[in-house]
Amino acid sequence: MNNLINELLQGLRATTYWEFQAIVAGILYLVFAIKEKKICWFFALVNAATYVYVSYTAKLHLDALLQIFYIVMAVVGYLNWNKEKDILHIHTWTATLHLFTLIFTSLVSVLVGYLFHKYTDQANPYLDAFATCFSLVTTYMVTRKVLENWIYWIVIDSLMIYLYFVRDLKMSSLLMTFYTIMAINGFLVWRKIYRQQKNAIS
């Protein structure tokens, strides 16, 4: 236990200003996203813009590219959520659509992982490719308020705990642990809202 505390303290001391800023913005994004507050996309943009630099310097090139996509999706998400609530409801995808998404995205992840393993100095190329490709899909799901996005994030964030830890970004790894917990909470909150919406319609 003492070793774990010491590791966290060392990680905190090693945390740069930029990583700390990204962490704070990321937490605020999640809190407001769960509450369906459109200001969450402002903090998503700050978080992503900062992590472009943090990930690149840690040689997580795929993650850096992913953050650029997040910047674009922060704008798209704001525009979508800026509509009236009765226009964009929380909804679900069919099992068939999820199966197609899982198979197609997994195949793309293997291909991207292979290319980055062969032609770059990318750390953990296949794991990072998996996290990156599925994050692209899941971020789109958030902008469209698809309920199951939180389940995808639970898996992705759990993977990112390991990726950041082995790259010595211990506070970001801790943030991903918090993200995983918040994703579980987000799913429960959105599912409750979804059921209330269904009952109101029926």
pLDDT of the residue at 4: 45
Segment (H or E) for 144: none
Domain boundaries, given as residue ranges, for the chain: 16-201
Q: Which residue has the higher pLDDT, 57 or 9?
A: 57
For the chain, where are the alpha helices, taking DSSP H only?
Answer: 2-14, 17-34, 40-57, 61-81, 95-119, 125-143, 149-166, 170-201
- Pick the range with the lowest mean pLDDT from 53-67, 103-117, 175-189: 53-67
Q: Is 16 helix (H, G, I), strand (E, B) or coil?
A: coil
- Pick the range with the lowest mean pLDDT from 24-33, 56-65, 116-125: 56-65
pLDDT band at 3 (very low <50, low <70, confident <90, very high): low
- Pick the range with the lowest mean pLDDT from 63-67, 94-98, 110-114: 63-67
Percent of the chain at pLDDT above 70?
90
Retrieve residue 141's tokens. 């799901």
Alpha-carbon span 51 to 45, nearest angstrom: 10
Q: Is the confidence at residue 116, as pLDDT, over 60?
A: yes
The average pLDDT across 3-19 equals 57
Q: Of 131, 164, 138, which is closest to residue 152 (Cα–Cα)?
A: 138
pTM reported for the whole predicted model: 0.81
The average pLDDT across 82-108 equals 88
Q: Is the confidence at residue 58, as pLDDT, over 90?
A: no
